[in-house]
């Protein structure tokens, strides 16, 4: 893959700094949100916060962060479809090549307060 863009948004941050650092060393842009972005920034990594990409701040106590066409369009576009690529360009959306997520430990606490998308 040519160096490009990765979206990192994880609950369990074990190993995420090393993983992100390796991507950055390969020339990748890191997009991240909330606690993951803060964790990576505190580790000295260059991170683009999701709100910079979307132009929208997190809402509902951080429950809504990445639900935005500029994120999902970048992930879901079919790059073999020229119309999709043209639409991304027309809307100012850059493709996202890699998504790294992990889930909350719902077994421990299945409450609504752990939902973060």
Among candidate residues 1, 33, 6, 14, the one with its CA nearest the CA of residue 94: 6
pLDDT at 110: 58
pLDDT at 115: 56
User: Residue 106 is part of a domain; what is its CATH number?
Assistant: 3.40.50.1380
Confidence (pTM): 0.83
- Tell me which residues of the chain have a pLDDT lower than 50: none
- C-beta neighbour count of 2 within 10 angstroms: 7
Q: What is the domain extent for residue 30?
A: 5-114
Number of domains into which the chain is organized: 1
pLDDT at 107: 67
pLDDT at 59: 73
Contact between 5 and 95 under an 8 Å Cβ cutoff? The reply is yes
pLDDT at 113: 59
CA dist 26 and 85 (Å) reads 24
């Amino acid at each position: 893959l040519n160096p490009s863009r990765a979206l990192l948004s994880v609950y369990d941050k074990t190993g995420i700094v090393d993983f992100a650092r390796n991507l950055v060393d390969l020339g990748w842009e890191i997009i991240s949100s909330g606690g993951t972005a803060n964790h990576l920034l505190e580790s000295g990594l260059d991170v683009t916060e999701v709100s910079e990409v979307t132009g929208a701040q997190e809402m509902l106590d951080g429950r809504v962060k990445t639900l935005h066409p500029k994120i999902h369009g970048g992930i879901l576009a079919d790059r073999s479809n020229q119309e999709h690529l043209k639409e991304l360009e027309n809307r100012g959306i850059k493709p996202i090549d890699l998504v790294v997520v992990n889930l909350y430990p719902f077994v421990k606490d299945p409450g609504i307060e752990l939902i973060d998308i």
